[in-house]
């Protein structure tokens, strides 16, 4: 199929995939096809710019201090920081932790009986998510309650025992209830849904200031209440975004050969060349917020583009940096990123020299 879709000759693909798998910073065989390296348009110079999941993980470890990760990965801490600094973030409706933690003045729930009592009140609609989790795990949008079942925003329903199961999962560290946001009218018209289609902004914090290197758009399809992609399993799409202009350059509905699409699967509207609304304000918001987390030099921001302007959903570490390559068809380790990393490296060297000079 990769050959039919504009790929290189089969033997060439085998040789390239094996060579990338065996190099010092390897790219896996499945990654070779997922990221489009098999395509005829990928020259040897461009092929060298692709990274695999191992290099992605190594970058995260090198650039993000272990003691600073909790500031992003714990959603309560992250939102306390953002809201106290006056940044737009989703409104917390309630928090569930056995210790009674909270973000602001929302309802504090410490037992599941208190959660059940809260659910019987006038609290709908809401989103609920684990305090410590990523990739959309455990996230639900709830529209209302009917008897002993909860009606979800995608039209399905769930029983209360099943809804409460994640509340007992200790690694989640509790649950956060938030008021839903709505998509910007221009986005809602394109997707046919008011569900948020957020943009992921991959920002490097250098001694010269923050730099938005990569951005991609998580595009909701149908009645999906979440914009998660999960390699196309949810039916949603991903769009490569020009960091300078906010213009959508390329869209995929799944990884690998044949995944590129031109129109929204639900509405038929053109996706390529769509310009995300409030883009300049979005970039300024990410740059301003990045200064709050100096120990995190590789920041992955999810930003909702709403009628009232961009809203910071959350900050992530340990993100799959290699995945955007599948969306753009281009390697992440380009000349621009090499210059960014060199700037960071020079800053680290200057810091070490300054510390050494005091001894």
Give residue-wise pLDDT tens across range 265-308: 999 999 999 999 999 999 999 999 999 999 999 999 999 999 99
Domain that holds residue 276: 61-84+183-346
Say yes or no: 139 and 220 in one domain: no
In a domain, 256, yes or no: yes
Per-residue pLDDT band for 4 (boundaries 50, 70, 90) equals low
Please check the confidence at residue 334 and state whether its pLDDT lies above 90: yes
Say yes or no: 103 and 238 in one domain: no
Q: Which of 128, 152, 178 delimits the end of a domain?
A: 178
DSSP track, 204-237: EEETTEEEEEEEEEEE--TT-SS---GGGTTS-E
Q: Which of 130, 146, 178 delimits the end of a domain?
A: 178
Which residue would you say has higher pLDDT here, 11 or 155?
A: 155
Say yes or no: 220 and 101 in one domain: no
Say yes or no: 165 and 192 in one domain: no
In a domain, 3, yes or no: no
Say yes or no: 336 and 188 in one domain: yes
Say yes or no: 220 and 241 in one domain: yes
Say yes or no: 65 and 193 in one domain: yes
- pLDDT at residue 233, as a whole number: 63
Model pTM above 0.75: yes
Please check the confidence at residue 1 and state whether its pLDDT lies above 60: no
Please check the confidence at residue 109 and state whether its pLDDT lies above 50: yes
pLDDT digits (tens, 9 = 90+) for 15-41: 887 887 878 888 888 888 888 888 878
**Quick one: average pLDDT of 237-261?**
94
In a domain, 231, yes or no: yes
Please check the confidence at residue 351 and state whether its pLDDT lies above 90: no
Q: Which of 146, 178, 210 delimits the end of a domain?
A: 178
Say yes or no: 170 and 206 in one domain: no
Say yes or no: 247 and 307 in one domain: yes
In a domain, 259, yes or no: yes
**What is the count of structural domains for the chain?**
2
Say yes or no: 242 and 258 in one domain: yes
- pLDDT at residue 230, as a whole number: 66
Identify the CATH number of the domain in which residue 318 sits: 3.30.470.20
Which residue would you say has higher pLDDT here, 23 or 333?
A: 333
Reading phi first (left if > 0) and then psi (alpha if -120 to 50, else beta), residue 29 is in alpha
In a domain, 309, yes or no: yes
Cα dihedral 332/334/338/344 (nearest 10): -40
Please check the confidence at residue 60 and state whether its pLDDT lies above 80: yes
């Amino acid at each position: 199929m990769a050959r039919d879709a504009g790929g290189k000759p089969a033997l060439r693909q085998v040789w390239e995939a094996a060579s990338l798998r065996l190099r010092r910073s390897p790219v896996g065989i499945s990654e070779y096809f997922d990221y489009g390296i098999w395509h005829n348009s990928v020259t040897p110079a461009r092929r060298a710019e692709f990274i695999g999941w191992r290099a992605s993980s190594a970058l995260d470890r090198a650039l993000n201090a272990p003691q600073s990760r909790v500031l992003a990965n714990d959603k309560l801490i992250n939102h306390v920081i953002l809201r106290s600094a006056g940044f737009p973030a989703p409104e917390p409706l309630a928090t569930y932790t056995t210790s009674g933690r909270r973000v602001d003045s929302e309802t504090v729930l410490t037992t599941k009986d208190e959660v059940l009592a809260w659910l019987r009140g006038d609290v709908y609609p809401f989103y609920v998510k684990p305090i410590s989790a990523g990739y959309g795990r455990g996230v639900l949008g709830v529209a209302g309650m009917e008897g002993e079942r909860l009606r979800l925003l995608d039209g399905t329903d769930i029983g209360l025992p099943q809804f409460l199961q994640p509340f007992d999962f200790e690694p989640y560290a509790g649950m956060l209830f938030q008021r839903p946001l709505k998509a910007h009218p221009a986005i809602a018209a394109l997707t046919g849904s008011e569900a948020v289609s957020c943009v992921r902004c991959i920002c490097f914090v250098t001694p010269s200031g923050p730099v938005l290197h990569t951005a991609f758009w998580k595009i909701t399809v149908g009645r999906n209440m979440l914009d998660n992609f999960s390699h196309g399993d949810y039916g949603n799409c991903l769009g490569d975004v020009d960091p300078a202009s906010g213009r959508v350059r390329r869209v995929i509905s799944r990884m690998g050969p044949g995944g590129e699409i031109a129109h929204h699967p639900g509405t038929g509207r053109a996706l390529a060349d769509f310009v995300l609304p409030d883009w300049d304000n979005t970039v300024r918001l990410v740059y301003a917020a990045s200064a709050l987390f100096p120990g995190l030099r590789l920041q992955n921001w999810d930003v909702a583009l709403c009628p009232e302007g961009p809203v910071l959903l959350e900050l992530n570490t340990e993100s799959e940096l290699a995945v955007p390559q599948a969306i753009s068809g281009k390697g992440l380790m380009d000349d621009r990123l090499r210059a960014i990393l060199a700037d960071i490296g020079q800053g680290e060297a200057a810091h070490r020299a300054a510390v050494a000079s005091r001894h």
